Amino acid sequence: MTSDLSSARPRVTIAYLESIYQNYAPKPAPYRAIDHFNEVYGTNDLIINKLTILKRILTDICITILLSSISIAKIVVYVQFRGQCPVRPQLPLYLLVAGATTLAYVFCLMLPVSYTY
């Protein structure tokens, strides 16, 4: 009968005691603050939000630079070759109109940007 009782009891090992201590030991203050933030807002939610906003900003900057440079290139080509077309001298005028219109459109797109998440 005694052999049945001793076999039913779990063996207490150092690893078992360490796992109990790690589960119930008080954590240092910075770790408690991080755990509280993760419980309230989700794990690493702040970092993900900030990286998402940064990605949006960088994408907007790249698109703005690309569209602006194409528009400025159209205006420069118009200024260099104005009146030099042998068929119709007014033909390169579309470069000026298209460049100025696209440039105005890009600057209008930049006005109402808000990066709050």
Task: Tell whether 42 is covered by a domain.
Answer: yes
* Structural domains in the chain (count): 1
Q: What is the pLDDT of residues 41-52, one digit of tens each?
A: 666 677 777 888
Instruction: Answer yes or no: is 115 within a domain.
Output: no
Where does the pLDDT of residue 117 fall: very low under 50, low under 70, confident under 90, or very high at 90 and above?
low
What contacts 73, CB < 8 A, 6 or more positions away?
99
pLDDT at residue 99 greater than cutoff 60: yes
Give a yes or no: residue 81 inside a domain. Answer: yes
Say if 92 falls within a structural domain.
yes
Helix (H) or strand (E) holding 80: helix 45-80
82 domain residue, yes or no: yes
Residue 44 covered by a domain: yes
Residue whose C-alpha is closest to residue 83's, from 94, 73, 92, 95: 92
Give CA separation, 40 vs 7, 16, 112, in Å.
Answer: 44, 31, 31
Query: 50-91 pLDDT, tens per residue?
Result: 888 889 889 988 988 998 999 999 899 888 888 787 887 777
Q: What is the pLDDT of residues 2-29, one digit of tens each?
A: 555 556 666 778 777 777 766 666 666 6
Domain limits for position 97: 2-110
The pTM for the full model equals: 0.51
Token output for 69: 């440079």
